[in-house]
Chain A
Amino acid sequence: MSHHHLVSLPYHEKSHTIKGVFSLSGISILLLLWHLVSNSLPNFLLPSPISTFQKTYETFFSLDFWHNASLTLTRAFIAVCVSFLLSNLMAIACTISVNIKRSLWPLIMLGLTVPSIVVAFISVVILGSRGPVGTVVPVLIIIPILFIMIYPAYENLSKEFAEVAKIFHLPKHIYIIEVVFPQLAPYLFAALRTGISDGWKLTILAEVFTLGDGVGSRILQYFNLFSIRDVFAWTVSFLAIMILIEYGVVQQLEKRFVRNKQVAHT
């Protein structure tokens, strides 16, 4: 019956349905495995998906979660903004001056190769476990990643379009908004998305080391209490917020600004 229903759907709807089935299948398998493994392990080691989701629901609507989530989000937001700004400034500087590029390039390579955990350790040793370290760690780790994504866009800005702008005397601000930004936009949004997804994970990692407040710190506390159910509940709750930000903000902004993604590269 359901098969018959599927066949009678128009092609594009059928295609969406099939895609949806495949998308859900991965998560379904994971949940099934989780359920099976949790049955064979003690509840304190691995709680079942159902009890975890019950706890997640409680956590998501608790004041404690939103207090700590807002701290983590603020740190992650500052870290992403600062990293995004600095990596753009560095990319612009490298495009303008070969010497700046020569001096920055080894640092970028160093940043890309040093393990994140080492950066976190060193930052905590230098800055202490309180204060700005929760923001500094993600910034230090994200900047090289964003730079590598953004720099080619600046380097390959069309000289032909720049000539058109010069001939027709386009004012500088119009040139930047209407000619430069559309060429950069696909790269900037890809970098922004990477920055956000790495930013919140690294902020949580930094909070684990700082032993203060924030989602990372609370996760560590629950881990130390062997409450894996709470660890999962806090992780899933925060993940839900990040997914909302990804689909509700980043993708909507991308749709608005990257009007013609494919042709913007030509």
Chain B
Amino acid sequence: MNAMRINNISKAYSENLTVFQNLTLDINAHESVCIFGPSGCGKTTLMHVIADLEPYSEGSIQFYDGNKKIVKNPTIGFVFQEPRLFPWLTVSKNLELVMKKPSTNKAVIDKQIEKTLKLVHLEGYNQRHPDELSGGEKQRVSLARALIVQPDVLLLDEPFSHLDELTATKLRVGLAQILKQLKITTILATHNPLEAIFLADRIVVLTMQKPTKIKQILTVDIPKPRNKNLYGEFIYNPVVERILKDLFH
């Protein structure tokens, strides 16, 4: 069942600068799709276009609900490359601010915040300000903010690219567990091949030359939950080895 359809979209800044052209992609409900490509190929622009942060030149993007009806104003959860938390607000207030229809009942709001913070392993961090958090913790709050709105689609734009590898790996494992638990339709942009294989059901490989096009779509036929240890047995899995070969082909 389709959750989203990107239909023949193109994005051009000027006549001489077309970022991507005629991209078509169907994304199934509860599926994790990874947009994979080198830096500068237009992944972030594509994510911004999907999130309606930037207009596109041609084509259409449609979101569907469980009854295959078009959703006009989909709820989108977005995790940016950098956390983008409001530094003057506490963790709790950062989450409360984006809750779509904040209930008048404070207890209900607090309960939902507690639940979401528990999901990202940040229980007890409610009253901290972002400058009191580490880079990894900030990004987890950013993920919590994207999850608390109960999104139709979760967009993750290279969410771990600014973190050290150890922290990033821990967060990837945590994210995999959350996605499995919540079954959210997810689009992840990354240039990290292992991250793509670890988290995605399908990997959409973009071309390097402009205008960017879809080069190939790889299915990651590794059952979930995948090995929790990203750098353990997982890396020696023959399927991973084959996908890595395909990615670097």
Binding site for B on A (CB under 8 A): 160-161, 163-164, 166-170, 174, 178-179, 182, 259-260, 263-264, 266
Contacts and interface: CB of A to CB of B under 8 A. Distances in A.
Given A168-B98, A170-B97, A263-B131, A179 B86 contact: yes
A263 B149 contact: no
Nearest to B148: A168
A167 B78 contact: yes
Contacts of B130: 263
A246 B87 CA distance: 27
A259 B88 contact: yes
A182 B86 contact: yes
A259 B84 CA distance: 18
Nearest to B76: A167
Given A160-B82, A160-B84, A161-B86, 12 more contacts: A160-B80, A163-B84, A166-B53, A168-B97, A168-B100, A170-B97, A178-B97, A260-B88, A260-B129, A263-B130, A264-B87, A266-B87
A161 B97 contact: no
B51 interface: yes
Contacts of B84: 160-161, 163-164
Which of A168, A170, A259, A266 is the most central at the interface, judged by chain B CB atoms within 10 Å of its CB? Answer: A168
Interface of B is mostly: loop
Interface string B115-148: 0000000000000011100000000000001000
Given A263-B87, A266-B87, A168 B129 contact: no
Contacts of B89: 178
Contacts of B73: 169
Contact of A260 (B75, B87, B100): B87
Interface residues of B, number: 22
A17 B15 CA distance: 68
Contacts of A163: 53, 80, 84
Contacts of A174: 97
A170 B88 contact: no
A168 B155 CA distance: 12
Contacts of A164: 78, 80, 84, 86, 98
A140 B145 CA distance: 46
A166 B87 CA distance: 18
Interface string B205-229: 0000000000000000000000000
Interface in B75-105: 75-76, 78, 80, 82, 84, 86-89, 97-98, 100
22 contacts: A160-B80, A160-B82, A161-B84, A164-B86, A166-B53, A167-B51, A167-B78, A168-B98, A168-B100, A168-B149, A169-B75, A170-B97, A170-B98, A174-B97, A178-B97, A179-B86, A182-B86, A260-B129, A263-B87, A263-B88, A263-B129, A266-B87
Nearest to A257: B88
A167 to B, nearest CB: 5
A60 B131 CA distance: 47
A178 B86 contact: yes
B89 to A, nearest CB: 7
B21 to A, nearest CB: 24
A85 to B, nearest CB: 24
A179 B98 CA distance: 11
A266 B138 CA distance: 14
A63 B149 CA distance: 61
A182 B89 CA distance: 9
Contacts of A178: 86, 89, 97
A182 B100 contact: no
A47 B245 CA distance: 93
Interface string B23-51: 00000000000000000000000000001
Nearest to A183: B88
A178 B88 CA distance: 9
Nearest to A263: B87
B53 A169 contact: no
B99 to A, nearest CB: 9
A264 B98 CA distance: 19
A182 B86 CA distance: 9
Contacts of A168: 78, 97-98, 100, 145, 149
Contacts of B80: 160, 163-164
B161 to A, nearest CB: 16
Contacts of B145: 168
* 8 nearest CB pairs, A to B: A263-B87, A168-B98, A260-B88, A182-B88, A167-B78, A263-B131, A164-B84, A160-B84
A208 to B, nearest CB: 43
